[in-house]
Amino acid sequence: MERIRRALVAREFVLYYQPQVNLRTGAVIGAEALVRWQHPKRGLLLPQEFLPAIEDDLLAVELGEWVIETALTQMDSWRASGLGLPVSVNVGTRQLRQADFVARLRALLAAHPGVKPSSLALEILETSAMQDLAQVARIFAECRALGVGCALDDFGIGYSSLTCLKRLAVTALKIDRSFVGHMLDNPDDLAIVDSILGLATAFRCQAVAEGVETLAQGERLRQLGCELAQGFSIAHPLPARELPGWLAAWRPSPPTEATHAGLQVSAKTCVPP
């Protein structure tokens, strides 16, 4: 844990950004900020390789605030160059339990007046939200009052999804990748995806499919009415410096078979490999 603390001080953490697109129009509608550890000896480490060690420690709060601050700073930089891209960041229950969480979020937003609060969204795991639903509900309500979006991540793997939706002021449901990945060959997973889309409509929030790795998955999601998606078939998480170039190269497919980035793709999916 001390090594992670030193890494935060030494600025070894970086944010990567995974684009999210509208499957119907092909428009890029935002990006999710994902933390990585650029370890001097082990290379680029994914969150699962270091976050579990600090999830119950105050260090998780420090790192979580760094993520929000860094994302806002990057959004400011992009805005100055003409790129106004909404960004979502992940927050944990340890972070949300802080009595001053909303006050600190308000201060961070005030320090970046060029960034509209509505262009920032907070994501929390559905299973984490259930650990302290009353507290999360209060925080979400206060964040929504600021204009900040709130999303339930990995939605559908918890056991009280309807309770979450009833209590929380969410603006988006992120369909867990396990359902998306198996929906083409497992009728149960397909039914779950379809049901989550129905819940999103009923509760007047967006649905975002995670882990879209093939054109066939993108097309099936579009047929089901799921408009928003992210995954490797669209883009891998990118360093901030590479995202503008990716956006410049991105071309939604026209209403016929078209070639994108040298590969043949189905125009209907608007999802290049």
- Secondary structure (3-state) at 230: coil
What is the token pair recorded at 42?
Answer: 């082990």
Q: pLDDT averaged over the chain? A: 90
pLDDT tens for each residue of 158-172: 766 688 888 899 999
More confident residue, 254 or 174: 174
Domain 2-265 matching CATH 1.10.3720.10: the answer reads: no
Q: Are strands 28-39 and 43-45 parallel, antiparallel or unpaired?
A: antiparallel
27 sits in the region (left: phi over 0; alpha: psi -120 to 50; else beta) called: beta
What pTM was computed for the model? Answer: 0.90
High-pLDDT (> 90) share of the chain, %: 81
pLDDT at 178 over 70: yes
pLDDT tens for each residue of 228-262: 999 999 999 999 999 999 999 998 654 323 333 32
Contacts of 132 (CB under 8 A, 6+ apart): 93, 96, 97
High-pLDDT (> 70) share of the chain, %: 91
90 vs 209: CA distance, rounded Å: 16
- Secondary structure (3-state) at 50: coil
pLDDT tens for each residue of 114-154: 999 999 999 999 888 888 899 999 999 999 999 999 999 98
Residue 254 has what pLDDT? 44
- Secondary structure (3-state) at 83: coil
| Residues 169-178, mean pLDDT to the nearest whole number | 95
Residue 270 has what pLDDT? 38
pLDDT at 266 over 90: no
201 vs 196: CA distance, rounded Å: 9
Residues in the chain: 273
In the chain, the amino acid numbered 64 is G
pLDDT at 103 over 60: yes
In the chain, the amino acid numbered 267 is A
Q: Are strands 28-39 and 87-90 parallel, antiparallel or unpaired?
A: parallel
Contacts of 208 (CB under 8 A, 6+ apart): 20, 151, 172, 173, 174, 175, 228, 229, 230
